[in-house]
Amino acid sequence: MRAPAKRELLGGAVVGVVRDLILSGDVRPGERLGLTRLSELMGMSSTPVRQALFQLSQDGWLVHEPHRGFWVAPLDRADLQDTYQVWARLEGEIAVRATRRATAEQLAAIRTLNGALTELVDHRSQTALDLNEQFHSAVHAVSGAHRLVWFADVAIRSVPLRFNEAFQTVPGWAEVNRHGHTAIVDAMESGDADRAGELMQEHFVRTGELLISQLDELRLWAGPVAGTDLRDG
């Protein structure tokens, strides 16, 4: 595996900064992001910034109009609900496949990850995030459903706030992280694939409900422009 180029690393930093600006309300849906102004803000050349903005437009955060620039995409409540519905169903089916394929050793490893997560003292720590990611990655790996996992990754990129990026800001997400997996593991160990899938789907539906509720409170749906001026000129 090749090491990421410096330009890719810089672009990744820009992606994070722009997401933070959107989610903090410093830039609003419909607001233009000027390449020159953003490059100055980041203290880097325009090339990695432009690449990052194109990536954000592909992921649905921004709208790109050729020869005109980039605008913050309107956050549509119904679209986000649809995305979570599809994502939850994908994760549910992945859990079904994993239950049917998992060996006793693989299930024990998944149980161990869940145990470490539930016993953790600080559920707003990086360790909690890492364990959560490892848990779901383990289920994905066992499932053998490579195409479903790929589609789930597409859904993740379509969500305007990902669990592993900002779970501390969404009330309830830390609790979901701590308590949301045990019943799923129980169903997997008992061989009840349908139940495991149902519980996994409910788990993701719940995280979506919490996120939408938070965005309701932050009023991050399409609205008046306010906050940091990132337009050129």
pLDDT digits (tens, 9 = 90+) for 37-63: 888 888 889 999 999 999 888 877 899
Task: Please tell me whether residues 85 and 64 are part of one structural domain.
Answer: no
Q: Does residue 1 belong to any structural domain of this protein?
A: no
Q: Domain check: are 59 and 16 in the same one?
A: yes
Mean pLDDT of 113-124: 87
Domain count, the chain: 2
**Who's near 142: CB < 8 A, 6+ residues apart?**
98, 101, 102, 106, 110
In a domain, 226, yes or no: no
For residue 10, pLDDT over 70 is answered with no
Let me know whether 56 and 97 are in one domain. Answer: no
Domain assignment present for residue 223? The answer is no
CA distance 205 to 87: 9
Q: Specify if 212 maps to a domain.
A: yes
Residue % of the chain over a pLDDT of 70: 85
Single out the residue in 45, 74, 103 at which a domain terminates: 74
Report the share of the chain in percent with pLDDT over 90: 43
Question: For residue 187, what are the domain limits?
Answer: 77-217
All residues at 6 or more sequence positions from 205 whose CB lies less than 8 Å from its CB, including other chains: 84, 85, 88
Instruction: Tell which wins on pLDDT, 77 or 192.
Output: 192
Average pLDDT over residues 61-90: 90
pLDDT of 165 reads: 58
Structural contact between residues 188 and 98, judged by C-beta atoms closer than 8 angstroms = yes
Tell me how many degrees the CA angle 153-159-160 measures, rounded to the nearest 5.
140
Q: Does 195 score more than 70 pLDDT?
A: yes
CA angle 209, 164, 24 (to 5 degrees): 70
CATH code for the domain in which residue 65 is found: 1.10.10.10
Domain boundary among 74, 90, 106: 74
Residues 143 and 181 in one domain: yes
pTM of the predicted structure, to 2 decimals:
0.73
Query: What's the pLDDT at 93?
Result: 99
- Is the pLDDT assigned to residue 176 strictly greater than 60? yes
Between 24 and 147, name the one with better pLDDT. 147
Q: What is the pLDDT of residues 128-171, one digit of tens each?
A: 888 989 999 999 999 999 999 999 998 887 776 655 555 666 78
Do 56 and 100 sit in the same domain of this protein? no
Domain presence at residue 10: yes
The per-residue pLDDT for range 87-96, each reduced to its tens digit, is 999 999 999 9
What is d(CA 214, CA 52) in angstroms, rounded to the nearest whole number?
Answer: 26
Contact between 80 and 152 under an 8 Å Cβ cutoff? The reply is: no
- Same-domain pairing of 64 and 84: no
Q: Tell me which of 204 and 228 has the higher pLDDT.
A: 204
Residue 110 CA to residue 172 CA, distance in Å, equals 23
146 and 44 within one domain: no
Q: Does some domain include residue 192?
A: yes
My answer on whether 201 and 184 are in the same domain is yes
Q: Answer yes or no: is 230 within a domain.
A: no
Q: At what angle do helices 182-190 and 77-101 cross, to 10 degrees?
A: 40
Tokens 């899938």 correspond to: 197
Instruction: Kindly state the average pLDDT of the residues 12-27.
Output: 78
Residue 47 token pair: 């090339």
Rounded to the nearest angstrom, the gap between the alpha carbon of residue 88 and the centroid of all alpha carbons in its chain is 13
